[in-house]
Amino acid sequence: MKFNTHLQNLPIYEAGKPIELVTREFGIDPKDVIKLASNENPLGTSKKVISIIKEKASNASLYPDDSFYELKDALANLYEVSSKNIIIGSGSDQIIEFALHAKANEKSAILTAGITFAMYEIYAKHVGAKIYKTKSKEHNLKELKELYLAHKDEISIIFLCLPNNPLGECPDAKEVMDFISIVSEDTLVVTDCAYIEFAKFKDSKKAINPKELISKFKNTLYLGTFSKAYGLGGMRVGYGIANTEIITALHKLRAPFNITTLSLAAALQALNDQKFIEKTLKNNLEEMKVYEKFAKKNGIEFIPSYTNFITFVFDKKQNASQIADNLLKKGIILRNLKSYGLNAIRITIGKKKQNKRVLAELKKEI
Ligand SMILES: *Cc1c(COP(=O)(O)O)cnc(C)c1O
């Protein structure tokens, strides 16, 4: 059977491995598996959120309020924008997909950093758009500017991953704003802020403010998610903030009821438990230092991270894929970055006890 030509060279996205796989393949008890591969919250989900999910379980037969009125209202309050400036997605991933369908096609291109979140490229390929990436792996705004100016008429969307997954770096908000000021009003600039809570906690200069962003630049789309700091990866809720013209266009692509009744309740409650977020951020910052110390002591290269993960880059003597495979057999799931063309492993910062075991096992492999 012939499929759309766009799909021919499109690899299937390799997601972080699930606990179930390790249990199935190596017979390890799920309790003993350490999963630090998908940047989920190691503290789990807030107790308040778990109790609301249980409380609302009997509503599973009902579709959610498709306007997502309450959730948008709560986000509008948090970010001091209007509900009309917000769209809810099944993860912020879905909003990335909407953006591509709204704005890119076979005749246009997207621009990204050299190594960044794989979904920008994958969704761009769905619509046949071309992809420009900088030579620099990390976000180099000077290079992004040069590449943008060289292909200005072609580029319809610029994706900035702030901070960047899977490398962890984050340019200052001021630099980002300066960059956006040179971009044409008809080019959409997406700032994917999936890890911004962690960045802001470490260094306030990194924090993009969505209100300021969208009031200064009518061509920007800010993305946030409940999957990382908020501990709701399994509930699939993300959001986009932009001016109403962009939000209206994205809404045309949204299927009704695109998040579930229970996801909606969970996200709303998650916003009410800021204590849980604080605990999450503190654990992350403290434990990040443990990984940095380990890397320095063992001569492993790493990029200072503004996220909830750290990426260890190995030299030629070591094989990151082999290391990741060996750890997997011991029930430790980390993210091998081979598919990004790197001899590197991305490790989500876990709880103290988990990190201790991960580093002890890693030590044996290097
Ligand atoms: C995790 C992540 C997202 C969003 O994930 P969802 O679960 O779909 O909300 C978006 N961008 C980046 C860079 C991510 O790492």
Q: Can you give the CATH number for the domain in which 354 is found?
A: 3.90.1150.10
Q: Considering 272, 305, 327, which residue would you say is the last residue of a domain?
A: 272
Same domain flag for 318 and 174: no
Q: Which two tokens stand for residue 139?
A: 């976000």
Residue 94: which domain range?
47-272
Same domain flag for 123 and 133: yes
Distance 228 CA to ligand 1 centre (A): 8
Q: Classify residue 94: in a domain, yes or no.
A: yes
Q: Considering 240, 272, 304, which residue would you say is the last residue of a domain?
A: 272
* The predicted structure's pLDDT at residue 323: 97
Q: Classify residue 7: in a domain, yes or no.
A: no
Distance 204 CA to ligand 1 centre (A): 21
Distance 297 CA to ligand 1 centre (A): 31
Alpha-carbon distance of 190 to 120, in angstroms, equals: 10
Q: Which residue CA neighbors atom 3 of ligand 1 most closely?
A: 194
* The predicted structure's pLDDT at residue 340: 94
* The predicted structure's pLDDT at residue 230: 98
Q: Relative to the CA of 93, which ligand 1 atom is closest? A: 8
What is the enclosing helix (H) or strand (E) of 225? strand 220-225
Same domain flag for 182 and 126: yes
* The predicted structure's pLDDT at residue 12: 83
Q: Classify residue 52: in a domain, yes or no.
A: yes
Alpha-carbon distance of 38 to 30, in angstroms, equals: 16
Same domain flag for 254 and 162: yes
* The predicted structure's pLDDT at residue 10: 86
Same domain flag for 256 and 340: no
Q: Classify residue 73: in a domain, yes or no.
A: yes
Same domain flag for 127 and 245: yes
Domain CATH number, residue 72 = 3.40.640.10
Same domain flag for 218 and 94: yes
Please check whether residue 96 is in contact with residue 266, taking contact to mean a CB–CB distance below 8 angstroms.
Answer: no
Same domain flag for 342 and 258: no
**What pLDDT tens digit does each residue of the chain (366 aa) get?**
988 888 888 888 878 889 999 999 999 999 999 999 999 999 999 999 999 999 999 999 999 999 999 999 999 999 999 999 999 999 999 999 999 999 999 999 999 999 999 999 999 999 999 999 999 999 999 999 999 999 999 999 999 999 999 999 999 999 999 999 999 999 999 999 999 999 999 999 999 999 999 999 999 999 999 999 999 999 999 999 999 999 999 999 999 999 999 999 999 999 999 999 999 999 999 999 999 999 999 999 999 999 999 999 999 999 999 999 999 999 999 999 999 999 999 999 999 999 999 999 999 999
Residue 166, preceding peptide bond in cis (omega within 30° of 0)? yes
Q: Considering 272, 301, 320, which residue would you say is the last residue of a domain?
A: 272
Same domain flag for 239 and 358: no
161 pocket-lining for ligand 1 (C-beta < 6 Å): yes
Distance 117 CA to ligand 1 centre (A): 8
Q: Which two tokens stand for residue 115?
A: 């190594």
Please check whether residue 153 is in contact with residue 184, taking contact to mean a CB–CB distance below 8 angstroms.
Answer: no
Residue 298 C-beta-side C-alpha neighbours within 13 Å? 20
Q: Classify residue 199: in a domain, yes or no.
A: yes
Distance 194 CA to ligand 1 centre (A): 6
227 pocket-lining for ligand 1 (C-beta < 6 Å): yes
117 pocket-lining for ligand 1 (C-beta < 6 Å): yes
Q: Which residue CA neighbors atom 6 of ligand 1 most closely?
A: 91
Looking at residue 33, what DSSP letter applies? -
Same domain flag for 280 and 268: no
Q: Which residue CA neighbors atom 14 of ligand 1 most closely?
A: 194
Closest CA to 181 of 219, 128, 140, 235: 219
Same domain flag for 221 and 153: yes
Q: Which residue CA neighbors atom 11 of ligand 1 most closely?
A: 194
Q: In a mutational test of the pocket of ligand 1, which residue from 95, 165, 193 has the highest number of ligand atoms less than 8 Å from its CB?
A: 165
In this prediction the pTM is 0.97
CB burial readout 193-227, b (16+ within 10 A) else e: bbbbbbbbbbeeebbbbbeebbeebebbbbbbbbb
Q: Classify residue 1: in a domain, yes or no.
A: no
Distance 124 CA to ligand 1 centre (A): 16
Q: Classify residue 241: in a domain, yes or no.
A: yes
- Number of structural domains in the chain: 2
Q: Which residue CA neighbors atom 2 of ligand 1 most closely?
A: 194
Q: Classify residue 81: in a domain, yes or no.
A: yes
Q: Which residue CA neighbors atom 15 of ligand 1 most closely?
A: 165
Q: In a mutational test of the pocket of ligand 1, which residue from 71, 93, 160, 340 has the highest number of ligand atoms less than 8 Å from its CB?
A: 93
Residue 210 C-beta-side C-alpha neighbours within 13 Å? 26
Same domain flag for 188 and 238: yes
Q: How far apart are the first and last CA of the chain?
A: 47
